[in-house]
Structure formats: C-alpha cells, structure tokens
Amino acid sequence: MRGAAEPEIVLSGATAAYEGRPVLFGIDLTIRAGERIAVLGRSGAGKSTLLGLLHAAARDRVALIPQASALVRTLSVFHNVYMGRLDRRTTFHNLRTLALPARADLDEVAEVLGRVGLADKLRAKAGELSGGQQQRVSVARALYNGRPILIGDEPVSALDRTQGARILDHLAAQHGTLVLALHDVALALRHTDRILVLDAGHLVLDAAARDLDEAALRPFYAAAPR
C-alpha cells in the first residue's frame, strides 16, 4: 500500500524567511515514496520556498525543475540537458564534452529530447528557443538527471494543457516520487494523488486528490479579494 511506503522527505515544524520576512510557518510534512503531490496556493503563498526546503532535505536524491528554466542561453540544448548529470561524470569527461561530445552522450540526450518534442533542437542555442521550448529543455534536463524524486516549480506553466499533461506523464514514468507546484488545478487533480495547499505560509490543506474537485480548491488558489 502506498500509505505504508517509506518516508522520502520529512519536515517537522519547518519555518523559512526571505530577506528577513517570514514566509513559511511550522510546516509538518512527510513525503512518501511513490506519491504524486501537487502544491497549490496563491502567488506568494510560499510554494517555491516549500519546494526549496524539500530539495535541500534530499538534494542527492532529487531532480529539480526550477521555476525559471535556468538554462545557459549561449550553450546548446544538448549541453543544457547534459548538465543534469555533470556531478556523475569525471571532470575530464565533462571538459571533453564541452568541446566534443561523445556519440553515446549525444544519443542519450537526443532520446530524452524526443520525449518532450524537441529532438530537432539538439544543437540549437538555448537562448534562441521560445519560452515553452526552454521550459521543455528544463524538463528534459530533469528527465536526464533521472534521480528518484522530482521536484518541479511550475514545470508546465508555459505549455498548453495537452502538452502539459503529456510532460507530466513523462515525469511520472521516469521518477518514483513527484512534488510539483502547479497553477492548473485540473492538471493537478488529474495527474497527482495528493494535494497540498499553502495560504500565507501555512499548510491549510493536505488531502487525497480523489476527495477534491476544482470547486473545493477555488477559495485557496483564487486571487485574494481586494
């Protein structure tokens, strides 16, 4: 049973501040192996900060998709995806790859890019791509990384719902555990099994996705009334 799975990440009474301003308050949270979790909430609720704490708690087991694509715009798409495994290659191999990539590495990265619909962009400069394409390169880097836990901060925000659903399926197939901040509630309900909601730095809802619908979540993620 999934409920009996081993904990992957545990936060107990976690707090965080940004530039001296508290942004998270007393977060108690256990992420178990095999869970697919969506983090929802208004802009500024603390979602990115929470993901940062989860990443810091299990850095060596996490593939990360940051909110900004965080690509090196002057390098090729190949090199940006290859960076997902820099720490698992020798310094010599990485330096050689910068100038003359090995065929095996090119083929592996090309296969991953094919999964996100960018097989033809292998040698394109990252900075020449559209925003949606850059986001898919960031997703491909996480897929290439391959670590068991995937933490994604709005990983499909620049994609339409059909593309986003396809990408979420690939992430679920590649990584054992997912924790995703998502802006599309319909995608969250369809592609995850647990919903967390933050409001003003507090964890105000932690429930099974099957027990929720968009109407139940609307008060938590809609813009605050003026």
Domain ranges of the chain: 2-221
Mean pLDDT to the nearest integer, 174-182: 96
Taking the model in full, what pTM does it have? Answer: 0.93
Mean pLDDT to the nearest integer, 104-112: 98
pLDDT of residue 223: 56
pLDDT at 85 over 70: yes
pLDDT of residue 1: 40
| CATH code at 2-221 | 3.40.50.300
**Rounded distance between C-alpha atoms, residue 166 and residue 184, angstroms:** 14
